[in-house]
Structure 1
């Protein structure tokens, strides 16, 4: 068996990640391996029980509670949301299933801070009256944070308590989790990680997303707790439906081939794996579960460079346990490009300007609206390079030369990148 402490250390140094925790559960045997520091400014060391923000992995926790409510007969997945939440200003055709599978069409990257009160989700949902619909419900996929806040509000209304309280009553307490919280004042009672930027690895100045984003991404937890949550989905057939394919995912980055009820379903060289990634303010987290091998792997990091660490580390871990590697990212090809895709593309919280410069395409990403309050960079420039198939519509981008490539596809009226539809203006 490899020395995971040594390998985590070596790979984290190469990826410029200040602190991380690797968790591996293999058919009953748990290994937790910490590395580095939680905060480069204070030098506080990372320990096995340190807590990190898990970002959008929180969505799987919210989805789990929705499935519980379904099992209790209090909702159906194909119920129109407005039947459960009449005040929600969204298309009457949007169902609970659409929200769970990012197919509602809601332009969903709304990060408005609606305060710290227990009514923050209710107030957030009311703001959706001014949000555009990107497409008709059920006709496409576009990653939607707002949809999970709406799901969180449904949980509040049906349970008669806050989403945070339902999370505790429905999941953290029954599972026996001791290091899982939702608010920053709770996180600081533990050894809590602080995010670090990808460019200079300096600590960020904003600790957490607004409470109003809770159901979509504010859970803070330790590796052992996250693995215990994943075990619930490995051992309890009540949640099996969450692993069943609902929406094909065409780009296949990282082996992502289908979407279940929130869980992402991956094909790694013929092995079916499920999981999710999470990214907050310079903290990135990863969770992968191989049901056949009864293997759970998580990685918690306090850096915007987390992906540079995860991909090689996941390859080593999964090669050791099940003989498969993390799929290789797409690669650029050397073909000429034209200016057919030049223009401005825009959705809530982000503007993408594609320009043709010296025979190449460049994409300038600018944070807008509420996202400006916590964006690592208000603006970042990416080179856009073609990839296969050679039809002039498929490209790849990356944050910098040290990062893996990710796909970007142009369509007639929008571009698709980071799992999101961004319309051309």
Structure 2
């Protein structure tokens, strides 16, 4: 039996768990649709501070960066244009943007809107190149993509692709004759009445706003850079309060309808966004499969959808359980946010929805033997080099940020001990955290050897 959304209880648990996991400030939002004419149940609570430097209290009205949850908003815009007959999911990008170019001309001709929505284009995705603050930033970003290499063949596997969503943002601009920011406001946030949502820094700062934090010897320190480049906007630049994110999720739960009956998105497109499109090489770190903008999750036989987001020291989580009309979002500005999410959501979905969250990924209690020899070597993609070695104490993974990602995030190479889970799968745990992360090795149909780590595929370098 579903439990009541008790604001006092969850505010208390949020405060306790945020302190346990070193999270400076956090918002929790919970919504359950009313049935048979009953009003919706709703909780919006916050705890902690927006910045450890200023000490300003986090409130439910403050704006946090929702990071890649923005992709679901951009995908919604695209599906609205599909509803209008302006494009199809399988329309080639080159038909919408004349002269569109990539390093591989054949891919540039063949890549479709569906490939971009489902992260199967193979375009190397972490091209965080700042093309300026002007309204032409996404048009200029096309010049960056003109030399973009493939991380894998078109449609051959799945690899998280931020660049693909910047390209979707440009498609929205071409078809609406508006900037992506204006199209989002006019077509989505405006009709939904979202007064606590913004994309541009000058608009965010009209509100109380969270500052991201990095870890400095166990202490949260405000980041020196607050916002992503505008060219990354369609993939990660929405800032919002948890309540506005709930309103966006509510529209999807209601099949594209607003509470007053206004239709924003067709019921068919709302369903399509959450429908199965592609399985993930690694079913542990995110979900088991992908829709058209949404991640899909199987928790104890219950189907959910949602998305996560990470920016400069901030993290966001959204999970939607359609059969119970339930949406839960968590927005945080530093600390061990994944650990907080794992513990808090496990409690919420058990007590409120009566379902068990999927078991946490971890090495087996009884160690298993897995031969790492076939996987030794160097793997690379734009943004990262990954080296798998046989160390003195066992196999290890070394990751080094490269290119624009290194310039944006910085930091030295990281080394992780590889703990065997099963053939082709290992577990690593970042220092100071409770949450294990998977490292998956696999082959494509053409025989290419790949590593999947951090939701991204990297091909093995030929020795």
Is the TM value for this pair above 0.5?
yes
Q: 2:20 aligns with which of 14, 17, 21?
A: 14
Separation in 2, partners of 1:254, 1:103 = 17
Aligned residue in 1 for 2:36: none
> Are the aligned partners of 2:379 and 2:385 in contact in 1 as well (CA < 8 Å)?
yes
> Are the aligned partners of 2:285 and 2:455 in contact in 1 as well (CA < 8 Å)?
no
Q: Does residue 302 of structure 1 match 2:333?
A: yes
User: 1:286-336 CA deviation, whole Å, 9 max, x = no partner?
Assistant: 001111101110000001521111111001111112112322222224234
Q: 2:406 aligns with which of 356, 372, 379?
A: 372
> 3-state SS of the aligned residue for 2:219?
coil
Q: Does residue 230 of structure 1 match 2:236?
A: no
Separation in 2, partners of 1:145, 1:10 = 34
> 3-state SS of the aligned residue for 1:322?
coil
Q: Does residue 184 of structure 1 match 2:201?
A: yes
> 3-state SS of the aligned residue for 2:220?
coil
Aligned residue in 1 for 2:390: 356
TM-score, reference length from structure 1 = 0.96
> Are the aligned partners of 2:25 and 2:332 in contact in 1 as well (CA < 8 Å)?
yes
> Are the aligned partners of 1:254 and 1:326 in contact in 2 as well (CA < 8 Å)?
no
Q: Which shows bigger deviation, 177-186 or 46-55?
A: 177-186
Aligned residue in 1 for 2:175: 158
> 3-state SS of the aligned residue for 2:363?
coil
> Are the aligned partners of 2:282 and 2:452 in contact in 1 as well (CA < 8 Å)?
no
Q: 2:368 aligns with which of 335, 338, 341?
A: 335
Gaps of 5+ in 2: 34-39, 257-266, 444-448
Pairs within 5 Å for 1:237-386? 237=267, 238-253=269-284, 256-333=287-364, 334-336=367-369, 337-375=371-409, 377-386=411-420
> Are the aligned partners of 1:142 and 1:421 in contact in 2 as well (CA < 8 Å)?
yes
Gaps of 5+ in 1: none
Q: Does residue 79 of structure 1 match 2:102?
A: no
Aligned residue in 2 for 1:94: 111
- Give, in angstroms, the shift of residue 4 of structure 1: 0.7
Separation in 2, partners of 1:304, 1:418 = 18
Query: 1:404/1:190 Cα in 2 relative to 1: closer, same or farther (>3 Å)?
Result: same
Aligned residue in 1 for 2:44: 32
> Are the aligned partners of 1:19 and 1:46 in contact in 2 as well (CA < 8 Å)?
yes
User: 1:133-188 CA deviation, whole Å, 9 max, x = no partner?
Assistant: 12332221111100001100000011111100000001110000001111122211
Q: Does residue 209 of structure 1 match 2:228?
A: yes
> Are the aligned partners of 1:53 and 1:284 in contact in 2 as well (CA < 8 Å)?
yes
Aligned residue in 1 for 2:80: 68
> 3-state SS of the aligned residue for 2:374?
coil
- Give, in angstroms, the shift of residue 193 of structure 1: 0.4
> 3-state SS of the aligned residue for 1:21?
strand
> 3-state SS of the aligned residue for 1:24?
strand
Q: Which shows bigger deviation, 407-416 or 284-293?
A: 407-416
Aligned residues: 422
- Give, in angstroms, the shift of residue 376 of structure 1: 5.7
- Give, in angstroms, the shift of residue 234 of structure 1: 0.7
> Are the aligned partners of 1:81 and 1:94 in contact in 2 as well (CA < 8 Å)?
yes
Give the root-mean-square deviation of aligned CA atoms.
1.5
Query: 1:318/1:376 Cα in 2 relative to 1: closer, same or farther (>3 Å)?
Result: farther
- Give, in angstroms, the shift of residue 340 of structure 1: 3.2
> Are the aligned partners of 1:23 and 1:298 in contact in 2 as well (CA < 8 Å)?
yes
Aligned residue in 1 for 2:144: 127
Separation in 2, partners of 1:71, 1:166 = 15
Q: Does residue 48 of structure 1 match 2:60?
A: yes
Separation in 2, partners of 1:245, 1:279 = 24
- Give, in angstroms, the shift of residue 89 of structure 1: 1.0
- After superposing on structure 2, the runs of 4+ consecutive aligned residues of structure 1 that deviate more than 4 Å are none
Separation in 1, partners of 2:335, 2:228 = 15
